[in-house]
Amino acid sequence: MIEVSAPGKLYIAGEYAVVEPGHPAIIVAIDQFITVTIEAAKKSGSIQSAQYSDMPIRWTRRKGELVLDIRDNPFHYILAAIHFTEKYALEKGKQLAFFDLKVISELDNSNGRKYGLGSSGAVTVSTVKALDAFYDLQLSNLELFKLATLAHLNVQGNGSCGDIAASVYGGWLAFSTFDHDWVLERLKQQKITDLIASDWPCLRIEPLEAPEDLRLLIGWTGSPASTSDLVDQVHQSREEKENAYQQFLKDSNACVTAMIENFQQGDIEAVQEKIRENRRLLAQLTTISNVVIETEELKKLCDLAEKYHGAAKSSGAGGGDCGIVIVDKKAGILPLMSAWEKAGITPLPLHVYHLGE
């Protein structure tokens, strides 16, 4: 039996701007995993996951008609990952076979509630990884990233795929997404093996080293949020307020680029200043788009962290899920932990995950 796993992620900075090619974000992999096992089968295969089996499929109406929203359903990422990896395997001359595939997730809690740690990215990556081993494809990290990305784009469409990079590479990353139109156009014309082998415009995946005394704290608001919905909403408002949106992109770019330099210089205080700046920029994006990124709970989480010498902001798309805090290791964290708990914020005892640990 083959067993592989991929970690979840948290966005530290650069959210929303990072869906535009070339705009940087800082992302970190955390030590909660999705594990996939795969075993050869005969005549028919199966896909199984205890966590997702009773997961509802959300739907909405468009022009009155019922439309399924498959973007929050892990099965669709698994199916897309199988589809693209098998296409690649065929091009590499492999013979396809039947298998039983099982998914075990630590990224969702026992009630099936999402922590917002990026289960769709991790489930896509771990499925590709499992098939990589099953068909002996010997994919490099970059090839794994690109294959998982093609599958993810096929289901979600509007994401940056930063969660996939975090899941593949681990640790802290500076990430900018590739030109999605370019890749999708090539996908129509080229073999997958050729597309995977070519350089993708604007893509940047660069490991970062965190300053030695930097400590990451994570608080969970307990309310789940749908990233793809929130990104859709921000995009819809964008057309009316193009100038303000462009300014947001420019400011986010400058803020995160400086934060990446502060990481490289090992300057925690400067990193903290940029976290606060990024929080202000996301508040401006809320003014532009009317999309609530920092909910009341996230505000509480951040304000309490600031009171206890941390620099805090929402993580990812916001609207619920988690907030992150950057503190100096030398500062005590217990007062903040109890203040959070009193305020109904759950501290998540997670750590940065580095590959090979």
Residue 108 makes contact with Mg ion by CB under 5 A: no
Whole-number CA gyration radius for the chain: 20
Contacts with Mg ion by CB under 5 A: the residue count is: 5
The answer to whether the CB of 219 falls within 8 A of the CB of 339 is no
Q: Which does 231 bind (CB under 5 to 8 A by kind): ligand PMV, Mg ion, none?
A: ligand PMV
Per the CB < 8 A criterion, the answer to whether 61 and 29 are in contact is: no
Residue 297 C-beta: closest distance to Mg ion, Å = 13
Query: Between 89 and 107, whose beta carbon lies closer to ligand PMV?
Result: 107
Q: Is 317 in the site for Mg ion (CB under 5 A)?
A: yes
- Does position 19 bind Mg ion by CB under 5 A? no
Binding to Mg ion by residue 25, rule CB under 5 A?
no
Write the burial class of residue 71 (CB in 10 Å: 0-12 exposed, 13-18 middle, 19+ buried).
buried
Residue with tokens 């022009």: 63
Q: How far is the CB of 139 from Mg ion (least distance, A)?
A: 28
Among 8, 14, 116, 171, contact with Mg ion (rule: CB under 5 A): 116
The one-letter amino acid code at 127 reads: T
Q: Which is nearer to Mg ion, 176 or 295 (CB)?
A: 295
Of 230 and 326, which has the nearer Cβ to Mg ion? 230
Q: How far apart are CB 91 and Mg ion at their closest, in Å?
A: 35
Q: By the 8 A CB rule, do 306 and 312 touch?
A: yes
Partner in contact with 74, chosen from Mg ion, ligand PMV, none, beta carbon below 5 to 8 Å by kind = none
What CA–CA distance (Å, rounded) separates 78 from 84?
10
Task: Give the nearest distance from C-beta 225 to Mg ion in angstroms.
Answer: 5
Site for ligand PMV, rule CB under 6 A = 11, 15-16, 18-19, 116, 118, 159-160, 162-163, 227, 231, 316-317, 321
Alpha carbon distance, N-terminus to C-terminus of the chain? 22
Per DSSP (E only), the strands in 108-237 are 172-176, 204-208, 214-220
Tokens at 298, concatenated: 């996230």
- Taking the least distance from each CB to ligand PMV, the nearer of 24 and 211 is 24
For residue 316, state whether it binds Mg ion (rule: CB under 5 A). Answer: yes
The reply to whether 321 sits near Mg ion by the rule CB under 5 A is yes
Q: Cβ closer to ligand PMV: 108 or 163?
A: 163
Cα-based torsion angle of the residue sequence 20, 170, 91, 45 in order, rounded to the nearest 10 degrees: -110
Burial 29-39 (b: 16+ CB within 10 A, else e): bbebbbbbbbb
Q: How far is the CB of 61 from ligand PMV (least distance, A)?
A: 25
Q: Applying CB under 5 A, which residues contact Mg ion?
A: 116, 227, 316-317, 321
